[in-house]
A and B are shown apart, each in its own frame.
Chain A
């Protein structure tokens, strides 16, 4: 059989119109040998090849093999599960592209910035320890995100936070599969974001497509859940959760081209519901689902019940005279509260819409700059991702902006570690050169903010 295909351009144009996708996951479990080797043998040679004994982490001694017919733990082909994922999801890109979540190799600190711009962030920020600047604490790489262990890609366990803050998850076990279920039993079975699971004694629809981009389940097929996130009772084979997952995956819709610069327009992921509840699977004690009208819980609310209709100071003498939503809509930048609801949305401070209706969310997922409306229904709520990115950022505590110093911009420009000694620009730089700082803000120009912009906490609280 002739193995090659000789094709001419005209014939292929017909195929182009079909727009066929060749996704690997398609919302559920992919083909098995995409990650595993069944017998640790191919062509009568060992496939797993063992692990790097000079490194530590998930693949502890005894779990890997160089012997044919004795494979790595869980029959994986990579050194560990995150390394297996990053074989596809890391890239040596010039600019962010596709499904890449890590710039690899990571750039030297301040020589260049990680280039991937997914809403979750680029794991290469974990390798970027910036020099101390000003009075603020040093911005250390391992504080920039979730420290997944990926030996082949130079990512090591968090050496400071040994368990998940607010939980018990062991930092040494943290991997992509801690959050994303590569086999994804969870699925969305209707147009309203209802989630069901394949389990013994129960029949559910098979997964037919990704559930991250607005596809809707029909009578025959379900869609996957957002980003293959693990659902209730999700547990890896490689690690037994000390706290069993008790929350369903969130419902959300991302625009299809989500890894892009936000220099000219935002990448708006339409978050629906359940994100904070899902984060609490590991960070349980941090989670406070409801607004705290009595001001007694003393923890920032985030979750389905933390509505943006909560009372707020109207800055006109009335402590509870307005709502968080109204402030969000009015806030444009430090000192400028002339914004309107129609144009107030910022992907630097996203919120959940309080709905699981896929079509509603899909209508708002956008990269064109046309979906700029802020909260209006009264159902919207604050969530963990209102302030944090899920993977990593350039800033401590994986926040979307720098909370490590007072000002985000200085004299109309991004701060700069290369600025003159003792200058405000240097003191507020987080140790980053100006170009790197701008990259960490997803390439936005400083001109989009105030001349001396303060923390974006003020998007909701307007204290500046």
Chain B
């Protein structure tokens, strides 16, 4: 079975209060102008010893144990590894050994799983912490849903499970770390998309949080969806161009504090929402521009501790922000 552990909502004092008291409390907060905002402070761009590295719309992988960020550049199939200070410490992949690398993920031991497209086929490679090829993972026992036109473009490792996601087919495959089938499903119908018309619904941002909840954005709907392991669906988002609204929604990321980070590619901001409080909008940062800390067409977002990484277009590289509460 797919992971059954339900997502939990933090209990607060407000949960214990009667409804009238909650409204009074809310009124007091509003009158007092209290607004628990979150904040992103720009730190730097990912760099090597020559300065910031130019890149566009790269993909990310996270090594939470080593606190390292892996950057997959689909343009040249290279993988750069960055330490917490944003400096590249290692690179691999640009010799073509892994084909066209689409993404990577790491398990708790630091083993790297790379998703690669070769022609119209996909392969999953296993590499050690240096990026040296160990083996190709053979996927076994797949259900018919994953044997024909399954072309995953995202890969995640969470709590000993590998997730391969085909965002065009709206399919999620879950295996163990040896590639043995555990579960899988199509989520087009779950979010109300006619499967035959799924190409009209472009999934841009996609991530899986630590509890196995899949989180993704669909720009034409101006929505972010959260699908929990027990298939409970939540969604939020309003179309618009004012703060907190979605114009062309892009990448999504989640931290372990209950925050969701959502990129808007057109408005060039990273929005922060509180998923424990009905997706309350907490603030947005970046803004379109070529000045320090500004963004141009942000796409992918990743979170490592209190650092937030944002890929963008125009060879603007990866901007790094620090999350802070106000």
Contacts and interface: CB of A to CB of B under 8 A. Distances in A.
A105 B73 contact: yes
A268 interface: no
Given A22-B220, A87-B266, A435-B119, A52 B313 contact: no
A8 B232 CA distance: 6
Interface in A62-97: 66, 77-79, 83-84, 87-88, 90-95, 97
B100 A111 contact: yes
Nearest to B154: A94
Contact of B288 (A43, A47, A106): A47
Interface string B254-281: 0000000000011110000000001110
Contacts of A90: 313
A30 to B, nearest CB: 11
Interface stretch (A256-264, A282-290, A337-345): A256-264
Nearest to B242: A42
Nearest to A21: B200
Interface stretch (A151-159, A238-246, A352-360, A395-403): A151-159
B61 interface: no
B237 to A, nearest CB: 9
Given A16-B192, A16-B194, A97 B73 contact: no
A100 B202 contact: yes
A21 B288 contact: no
Interface in B176-217: 188-197, 199-202, 204
Contacts of A79: 296, 314
A94 B287 contact: no
Contacts of A3: 236, 278-280
A9 B233 contact: yes
A151 B314 contact: yes
Q: Is the interface of B mostly helix, strand, loop or mixed?
A: loop
Interface in A1-26: 2-9, 12-13, 15-24
Contacts of B287: 45-47, 49
A35 B247 CA distance: 9
Given A79-B314, A88-B219, A108 B77 contact: yes
B224 to A, nearest CB: 10
B19 interface: no
A107 interface: yes
B114 to A, nearest CB: 13
A48 interface: yes
Contact of B231 (A9, A43, A46): A9
A220 B196 CA distance: 28
A4 B196 CA distance: 27
A146 interface: no
A92 B119 contact: no
Given A5-B235, A95-B120, A152 B266 contact: no
Nearest to B196: A19
Nearest to A15: B192
B207 to A, nearest CB: 15
Contacts of B193: 16
Interface residues of B, number: 73
A23 B102 contact: no
Contact of A33 (B151, B189, B231, B240): B240
Given A104-B313, A154-B314, A43 B189 contact: no
Contact of A4 (B73, B151, B239, B278): B278
A45 B244 CA distance: 13
Nearest to A66: B289
A34 interface: yes
Given A3-B279, A52-B290, A112 B100 contact: yes
Contacts of B241: 33, 37, 42, 47
B59 interface: yes
A23 B202 CA distance: 11
Contact of A7 (B73, B235, B289): B235
A98 interface: yes
Interface size class of A (residues with CB under 8 A): 35 or more
Nearest to B193: A16
B88 to A, nearest CB: 18
A259 B278 CA distance: 37
A344 B193 CA distance: 36
A49 B289 CA distance: 4
A452 interface: no
Nearest to B220: A22
Contacts of A77: 247, 266-268, 288
B266 A48 contact: no
B204 to A, nearest CB: 8
A49 B232 CA distance: 40
A307 interface: no
Contacts of B77: 108, 111-112
A443 interface: yes
A4 B313 contact: no
A218 B197 CA distance: 23
B43 to A, nearest CB: 19
A88 B217 CA distance: 13
A256 B294 contact: no
A350 interface: no
Interface string B126-146: 000000000000000000000
Interface in B100-122: 100, 102, 117, 119-120, 122
B56 A105 contact: yes
A4 B236 contact: yes
B47 interface: no
B57 interface: yes
A2 B96 CA distance: 50
B153 A94 contact: yes
Contacts of A83: 297, 313
Nearest to B219: A88
Given A107-B74, A107-B75, A94 B191 contact: no
Given A22-B200, A22-B201, A256-B197, A95 B151 contact: yes
B278 A87 contact: no
Contact of A50 (B74, B190, B200, B289): B289
B284 interface: yes
Given A151-B314, A154-B56, A49 B199 contact: no
B315 interface: yes
Contacts of B73: 105
Interface string B303-326: 000000000011100000000000
A8 B289 CA distance: 41
Contacts of B117: 94-95, 112
Interface string A194-212: 0000000000000000000
B135 to A, nearest CB: 22
State the 6 A-B residue pairs at the shortest beta-carbon distance, nearest first.
Answer: A49-B289, A49-B288, A15-B192, A19-B194, A43-B243, A33-B241
Given A16-B188, A18-B192, A49-B296, 7 more contacts: A20-B194, A21-B200, A49-B268, A52-B296, A77-B288, A98-B201, A112-B117
20 contacts: A3-B278, A5-B234, A12-B233, A19-B194, A22-B220, A42-B243, A43-B242, A45-B287, A49-B288, A88-B202, A88-B265, A91-B204, A92-B57, A93-B168, A95-B168, A97-B202, A111-B77, A112-B100, A153-B56, A443-B120
